[in-house]
Amino acid sequence: MAVTIAAIRPLSIAVAVNRASAGYGGAIEAEYCSDETVAAICGALRSHGARVEAEEVDADFFARCGAIARRHDVVFNVSEGLSRSASRKALVAAAMDHLGVAYTGSGAAATLLAQDKEMTRRYLGGAVPQPAWTVARGDDPPLPERLAFPVIVKPASHGSSVGIEQGCVVSNRADLRAALARLRARVSGEALVESFLGGTEYVAAILGDVVLPALAWDWREYPGAPLLLDEAMEAAGTYAQRGEVIRDLDLHRRLARAAIRAHVGLGLGDYSRVDLRADAAGEPHLLEVNHCPGLRPAGSLLPREAAAAGISYGDLVASIVWLAVRREKARRPRSWLAGVELAPYEAAWRRAREETTTVAMEVDGRMYRLVQPRVRARPFGAAAAHK
């Protein structure tokens, strides 16, 4: 009796994205992906055998969602949405949930929490150390007793240092009013006022149950001794070259613990990056949680953290796909993606997780792997204006 072998077909992936070159304009343009980043993501997926199409998350995106759902197995979601939408970062996740399409990254509810710095702080509470803070709802907001000058004024719902300048750090009420006025002229939405911490800044990234090598910046040693990373510095891209890979295991554990608790506490999925800054005593405090960190190969921090562990860009992107597929396979019928070639993505994840040097770590009853630096991370090189 002949045995019929099911045909194997490629995994079909739609990359949901907002390109900076699409001409949306506005203050959040720095959050959009460069053409280089889109090409790199699509190339990495094709190198693992996927059939890939990029889908612009523009004003007509929802009219095309049904066709996207019929053509593709998975959506690789790196969209930022349009500036007029308060829930812009969660729209793709919500639409794909409605259509029953698998997608990478975090769900809509977790994305809404992470994109709002006020809600992030309220939701996490004391699980992760954080600076004293308040939301400025007027032009001359009262400050709670716990919040003493100097303070920093920043947007409550934007990333990529949008709206941040050196003058956002203020030491008196007159300067606070002026900083709030400048910020509100630049971006929409609420303003967050929090204690300014002058210590070292860190980033720590989560990939499944793996914590990648962390990076650090001491701005006091940066040319001109800026107080913080501002919008102009991020657009120039020069700051990225100065990030040092953390090799102190004890410090890596402390940063990892904070990153894990933020990631799990907000219910994020697959991967994230957490930004922290130390106080005068050296204790890292939460700045923000990036539910969808940038993936520019030669300019974003997540690929650099992966490279520090010896994980290639292609394996990083393919691992993100595998984490989403694995998560969805656990709750869908066994027939889902039957006959689809998934082995390259699982193999990429195994290389990232099992062929790196790791240290086991337990956080709140869950086991994680701290990936140790394999090689000294190389400078990014060219300036990066978009993620």
Per-residue pLDDT of the chain (387 residues; tens, 9 = 90+): 444 455 699 999 999 999 999 988 776 777 889 999 999 999 999 999 999 999 999 999 999 999 999 999 999 999 998 877 778 899 999 999 999 999 999 999 999 999 999 999 999 999 999 999 999 887 778 888 889 999 999 988 776 677 788 999 999 999 999 999 988 888 877 889 999 999 999 999 999 999 999 999 998 888 888 998 888 877 776 676 678 999 999 999 999 999 999 999 999 999 999 999 999 999 999 999 999 999 999 888 999 999 999 999 999 999 999 999 999 999 999 999 999 999 999 999 999 999 999 999 999 999 999 999 985 444 433 333 345
Closest CA to 189 of 60, 271, 266, 89: 89
Are 50 and 87 contacting, i.e. CB atoms less than 8 angstroms apart? no
Closest CA to 74 of 360, 316, 329: 329
Six-digit token string for 39: 């090409």
Find residue 51's DSSP bridge partners.
12
Quick: pLDDT tens for 319-367. 999 999 999 999 999 999 999 999 999 999 999 999 999 999 999 999 9
Distance CA 214, CA 372 (A): 9
Distance CA 235, CA 274 (A): 20
The dihedral over CA atoms of 227, 272, 289, 251, expressed in degrees to the nearest 10, equals -60
Six-digit token string for 165: 């300048």
Are 171 and 312 contacting, i.e. CB atoms less than 8 angstroms apart? no
Query: Which residue has tokens 């993505």?
Result: 345
Dihedral sign from CA coordinates of 181, 186, 188, 192? negative
Closest CA to 23 of 13, 10, 35, 9: 35
Nearby residues of 379 by Cβ (< 8 Å), 6 or more positions away: 241
pTM, full prediction = 0.92
Find residue 364's DSSP bridge partners.
none
Alpha helices in 266-363 (DSSP H): 301-308, 313-329, 343-354
Q: Which letter does DSSP use for residue 207 in this model? A: E
Closest CA to 287 of 302, 300, 273, 266: 273
Are 132 and 195 contacting, i.e. CB atoms less than 8 angstroms apart? yes
Q: Where does residue 105 fall: left (phi above 0), alpha (psi -120 to 50 degrees), or beta otherwise?
A: left
The dihedral over CA atoms of 291, 112, 216, 200, expressed in degrees to the nearest 10, equals -170
Distance CA 370, CA 362 (A): 10
Closest CA to 82 of 109, 56, 46: 56
pLDDT on residue 384: 37
Are 157 and 325 contacting, i.e. CB atoms less than 8 angstroms apart? no
pLDDT on residue 382: 35
Dihedral sign from CA coordinates of 307, 205, 211, 52? negative
Burial of 100 (0-12, 13-18, 19+ CB in 10 A): exposed
Instruction: Supply the Cα-derived Rg of the chain in whole angstroms.
Output: 21
* φ, ψ for residue 62, nearest 5 deg: -70, -25
Q: Could you tell me whether strands 215-217 and 102-103 are parallel, antiparallel, or unpaired per DSSP bridges?
A: unpaired
Distance CA 234, CA 227 (A): 14
Distance CA 19, CA 132 (A): 36
Burial 206-240 (b: 16+ CB within 10 A, else e): bbbebbbbbbbbebeeeeeebbbbbbebbbebebb
Q: How many of the other CB atoms lie within 10 Å of CB of 367?
A: 9
